[in-house]
Structure formats: structure tokens, C-alpha cells
Structure 1
Amino acid sequence: MTNRIFVFSGHLGEDRFGHALAEAYGEAARQAGAEVRVMRLSAMTFESALLSGDFKGNQELEPDVAAFQENLKWCSHWTPVYPLWWGGMPGQMKSLLDRALLPGVAFKMVEGEELPVKLFKGRSARVIITSDTAAHYYDELYDCAHDKIMGRQILDFIGFEEHSFKMFSPMYLASEDERASWIAEITELGKQDAVARQDVLAVA
């Protein structure tokens, strides 16, 4: 079965190194035989707030939010690429998840059950993060805090149970040679994910 990979760049602005990482990964996966779809947060237009304050307002989905939902449904493997801002993803990306990961789309609550049915069950994810925080500080001082939130409270919750995290950092100190090596590394990950079995897609 051909792997269907959804590459999502959560970087804002048009000249960010994260876009280059996402493009290199997606192109490598495509060249290796995967079906690949790509979206950029910076090119999307949508209301960032749940205007009713909850999921019950039946707020109309903008075309970009609907397309994001459709790509998550379509894919077997999701690769979001985004910067770490104040310990988490950019606010606009979090707003997109608030708008898109709706009951009946990403999960389904069942009466009498504490945890929902995971409507994206069976999919995998490889989360690519860029940061100015050195990896050893992120691991030791911050205890990989964002990995826990993204991994357990978002990906696990909706069914992307097989997932891994890769951080490229510190960005502000990276030389051109180091950035080139990161492009080479993510290119190899794209090739690997294109042909991997589903149960090992998210293994780093």
C-alpha cells in the first residue's frame, strides 16, 4: 500500500527555514513513491476563534479549514513542521487545531465513557520542530514539555498513536553548513517514511 503523507508547515512568513524543511521532506517522500499533499499555515485564511466558546456553535468551516480536515482524513501519516514559540506551537496553528479537530471529525464522545473514540485511529505522525532552544535544555530543563502536550493530549487523543518528535536547534546559532546538514537529514526521513510500514512510520 502506498503511504499517503500530509506535510503541514506551521511556520508563518514566507522565508522561514521551516518551509525549506517541509518542502525537502515532502519532495523526498514523493520521489520515493509516496502520495504527498502539502499545506502552509501562512497561506491559509480562517477565523481563529471558536466564536461560541465551545464545539457546539456549528461555526461554518472556511475552505482552508475544511481542506486541512480532509487532508488529515486522507493521510496515513502526518508530518507537521513548526517552530517552538514560548513552549508550544504558534497560536495560529493552535487555533487551526481548535477549529478543525471537532467532535465527529477527530473524536467521538460515548455516553458513560471517560475517553472518546479516536476517529483518526491507525495513523502515524512525525512532528518536526525548529527552535532557538538547545536540545539538551529542552530535554533536561523543560522535560520535553511540548512533546507531552502534542503527543498525549492531541495526537494520542485523536488516533495518531504512533508518533515521534524531531527537533532542529538552536536555529539562531546554525551555520549554513549545519542547515544544509539538516536539509539532508530531513530528506532521508522523507525517503524513509515513504516506504516504511505503518507500524514503524513514526520511529525516529
Structure 2
Amino acid sequence: MRVLLIDGHPDADRLSARLLDLYALALPEGCAPERLALRDLDFDVLATRSYEGMPAMEPDLARLFEAIRAADHIVLAFPMWWGGAPALVQGTIERLFLPGQSFAYHAKDPFWDKLLKGRSADLLVTMDTPPLVLRWLWGFPIGRRWKRQILGFVGIRPVRVHCFGPVRRGGAERGLPRWRLRLARAAATASKLKRPPKGNTP
């Protein structure tokens, strides 16, 4: 199984990177991991336009997209800021997930082809919000959006969203021992996720 690990934190050496380290260490034999950090890629994250005016992909962005296409399982780690992903992550999605390469609308009905199907994902989301509050009081908006409107829209499923928090006031240090076990379970079971056959990406 080819596993793509993506660090979506704008800064290096943060908790997101540590969680990816632990996940990678727990991958079973036979997995082929590849790791990228969005902050290290050379592309204009703000160059988002309407679909018709979107600029061509820079080489690093094209390399990321090819890595996604080659992967069987994607692990994306990022902090939750203001209820969502950092602008670096959101901008990358807007540059990558374009019609004709990630999805294709039908001409005669309201549906679309999901061109990135056949891949699963784990999201590792750090936060100051207590995860139970996020899920049960606020309805888990970040998880529903990523599962249905972002990754699910282009065919990536199943998507498991793992929340780690609160991280303030020593919460990360106290939480790491049990988070390590959660990450080990996620890594060990990733190959068993039921993925549909891969889509016919261009």
C-alpha cells in the first residue's frame, strides 16, 4: 500500500509533524510511505481564480497531485484554526481539485464523476477545542465538510477524522501517550479500509 503523508502546518517542527512521525512509525511492513510538507512546496497558494482562469500548476504542485494519484491512502495533518484548516491547506485544495482532473461534471444531469476514487484518508487535526465539544455540541462541522464536501466530493473515501486536543497549557504533552496508541491503531488498520477501484484520472 502506497501511503502519502502530508504536513499541512505552515510552520516546521509542530505537533502536526510529530503526529505524522508517530503514524509513519506504526505503518505495517509492506507499506511504501512518501512524505511532503506543503510549506516546502514552491507554488502560489493565493493564485486561486474561477476554474476558467486558474493558472497552470507549478512543478511542485503537479508533483503533489501525482503523489495523490499514486497513493492508496493519504494522511493529512493540520491544526484547526477558526474552525477550519489553515489557508495553506485550503489554498492547496483550491489549486489541486479542479474539474477534469479531480472531478468531472456531467453535461446532462446534476451529477459528477469522482476522479480520485480508490483512495482513503486519515485526517490528523490538532485543536484547542475539546474534541467532545466539537463533535457533540457543535455538530463536528470540520469533519463533515472534509468527508462530504472536499475529499468525498472527489471520491476519496473512507475518510477518518482524528481529533487531538485540547493542546494548550500542556495538553499536547499530556495527550501524546494516548494519542500514540490511537495513531498506531489508525496506521495498523489503514490497509484494511474498503476502497472502491481507482477512478480513471486523466
When the two structures are superposed, what TM-score results if normalisation uses the length of structure 1? 0.88
Larger displacement relative to structure 2 (59-68 or 77-86):
59-68
Summarize deviations over 1:2-42 as a string: whole Å, max 9, x none: x111111111211201101112212322x522111111122
Q: Which residue number in structure 2 is paired with residue 4 of structure 1?
A: 2
Q: Which residue number in structure 2 is paired with residue 87 of structure 1?
A: 83
CA RMSD for the aligned pairs? 1.9
Q: Which residue number in structure 2 is paired with residue 14 of structure 1?
A: 12
1:172 aligns to what SS in structure 2? coil
Structure 2 counterpart of 1:63, from 50, 59, 74 = 59
User: Does 1:190 find its partner at 2:175?
Assistant: no
Are the aligned partners of 1:147 and 1:165 in contact in 2 as well (CA < 8 Å)? yes
The Cα shift of 1:188 comes to 3.4
The Cα shift of 1:77 comes to 1.2
User: Kindly tell me: are residues 181 and 110 of structure 1, through their superposed partners in 2, closer, same or farther at Cα, counting changes over 3 Å?
Assistant: same
Are the aligned partners of 2:9 and 2:16 in contact in 1 as well (CA < 8 Å)? yes
Larger displacement relative to structure 2 (92-101 or 135-144):
135-144
Q: Which residue number in structure 2 is paired with residue 125 of structure 1?
A: 121
Which one-letter code corresponds to 1:114 in the other structure? P
After the TM superposition, which segments of 4 or more aligned residues of structure 1 sit over 3 Å from their partners? 197-200
Structure 1 counterpart of 2:73, from 77, 86, 103 = 77
2:178 aligns to what SS in structure 1? helix
Which one-letter code corresponds to 2:17 in the other structure? H
User: Does 1:28 find its partner at 2:23?
Assistant: no
2:66 aligns to what SS in structure 1? helix
The Cα shift of 1:197 comes to 4.7
User: Kindly tell me: are residues 161 and 188 of structure 1, through their superposed partners in 2, closer, same or farther at Cα, counting changes over 3 Å?
Assistant: closer
Q: Which runs of 5 or more structure 1 residues have no equivalent in the other structure?
A: none
Which one-letter code corresponds to 1:97 in the other structure? I
The Cα shift of 1:94 comes to 0.4
User: Kindly tell me: are residues 41 and 175 of structure 1, through their superposed partners in 2, closer, same or farther at Cα, counting changes over 3 Å?
Assistant: closer
The Cα shift of 1:162 comes to 1.3
Larger displacement relative to structure 2 (102-111 or 180-189):
180-189
Are the aligned partners of 2:75 and 2:124 in contact in 1 as well (CA < 8 Å)? yes
1:7 aligns to what SS in structure 2? strand
Among the aligned pairs, what percent are the same residue? Answer: 26
Structure 2 distance, partners of 1:176, 1:147, is 24
The Cα shift of 1:175 comes to 5.4
The Cα shift of 1:172 comes to 0.9
Matched residue count: 195
User: Does 1:176 find its partner at 2:166?
Assistant: no
The Cα shift of 1:177 comes to 4.2
Q: Which runs of 5 or more structure 2 residues have no equivalent in the other structure?
A: 197-202
When the two structures are superposed, what TM-score results if normalisation uses the length of structure 2? 0.88
Structure 2 distance, partners of 1:106, 1:95, is 15
